Chain A
Amino acid sequence: MLAVTGLSVESRLSNVSLEILPGECVGILGPNGAGKSTLLKAMSGLLKATGNVIWQGRILDHIPFIERGRILAWLGQESAVEFAFPVRDVVAQGRFAHNDDGQLVDEAMDALDIVHLAKRPVTELSGGERRRVFLARALATGAPLQLWDEPASSLDVRHALEVYALARRLATNGSSILVSLHDIRAAYRFDRILVMDRGNIAIDGSPHEVLTAPLIRQVFRVEAHFMTSLVPELPRD
Chain B
Amino acid sequence: MSPSELWGAICGAGDDSSRIIFFDIRLPRTIVGIFVGAGLGASGVVMQAFFRNPLASPGLLGVSSGGALGAVIAIVFATSLGLFTIPFASVLGAFMATGAVMMLARKGASPEHLLLAGVALNALFGAATSFLLSASATHTHLGAQILFWLMGGIENRTWEHVWMAAPGILVASVLLLPLGRPMNLLALGDSGAQSLGVNVRRLRWQLIALSTTLTALATAVGGVIGFVGLVVPHIFRLLDGPNHRRLLPLSMIGGASLVLLCDLPTRFLGSGMRLGVLTSLVGGPFLLWLLRRRSC
Interface residues of A (CB under 8 A from B): 41, 44-46, 65-70, 72-74, 76, 78-79, 81-86, 89-90, 93-94, 96-97, 134, 137-138, 141
Contacts and interface: CB of A to CB of B under 8 A. Distances in A.
Contacts, number: 77
Contacts of B199: 65-66
Interface string B187-204: 111011011111100000
A83 B243 CA distance: 9
Q: Give the one of A72, A83, A93 with max B CB within 10 A.
A: A83
Contacts of A84: 237, 241-242
B196 A141 contact: yes
B176 to A, nearest CB: 18
Contacts of A72: 195
Contact of A96 (B197, B237, B242): B197
Which 7 residue pairs are nearest across A and B when measured between Cβ atoms?
A: A69-B197, A97-B197, A74-B195, A83-B242, A66-B197, A65-B199, A96-B196
Contacts of A83: 52, 54, 187-188, 237, 242
A145 to B, nearest CB: 11
Contact of A65 (B181, B197, B242): B197
B53 interface: yes
B182 interface: yes
Contact of A82 (B52, B181, B192): B52
Interface string B219-253: 00000000000000000010001110000000000
Given A84-B241, A86-B241, A68 B54 contact: no
Contact of A89 (B182, B184, B194, B197): B184
A89 B243 contact: yes
B194 to A, nearest CB: 6
Given A74-B192, A82-B53, A84-B242, A68 B197 contact: yes
Contacts of A41: 191
Interface residues of B, number: 22
Contacts of A82: 52-54, 187
Q: Give the one of A46, A65, A138 with max B CB within 10 A.
A: A65
A46 B191 contact: yes
B93 to A, nearest CB: 30
Contacts of A97: 196-197
B34 interface: no
Given A68-B197, A85-B184, 19 more contacts: A45-B195, A65-B199, A66-B197, A68-B195, A73-B196, A74-B191, A74-B192, A76-B192, A76-B195, A78-B189, A82-B52, A82-B54, A83-B188, A85-B242, A85-B243, A96-B196, A96-B198, A97-B196, A97-B197
B195 A93 contact: no
Contacts of A96: 181-182, 185, 196-198
A89 B182 CA distance: 13
Contact of A70 (B185, B187, B197): B197
B196 A94 contact: yes
A131 to B, nearest CB: 13
Contacts of A73: 195-196
Given A81-B188, A82-B53, A96-B181, A69 B241 contact: no
Q: Give the one of B185, B191, B194, B196 with max A CB within 10 A.
A: B196
Contacts of B54: 82-83
A46 B195 contact: yes
A44 B195 contact: yes
B189 A76 contact: yes
Contacts of A79: 189
Contact of B188 (A46, A86, A93): A93
A141 B194 CA distance: 13
A141 B192 CA distance: 12
A169 B52 CA distance: 35
Q: Give the one of A66, A72, A93, A134 with max B CB within 10 A.
A: A93
Nearest to B203: A65
17 contacts: A46-B195, A65-B199, A66-B199, A68-B197, A70-B197, A74-B195, A76-B189, A78-B189, A81-B188, A82-B52, A82-B53, A82-B187, A83-B188, A84-B242, A85-B242, A86-B241, A96-B185
A73 B181 CA distance: 19
A142 to B, nearest CB: 12
A120 to B, nearest CB: 12
A69 B184 contact: no
A226 to B, nearest CB: 37
Contact of A69 (B53, B188, B189, B196): B196
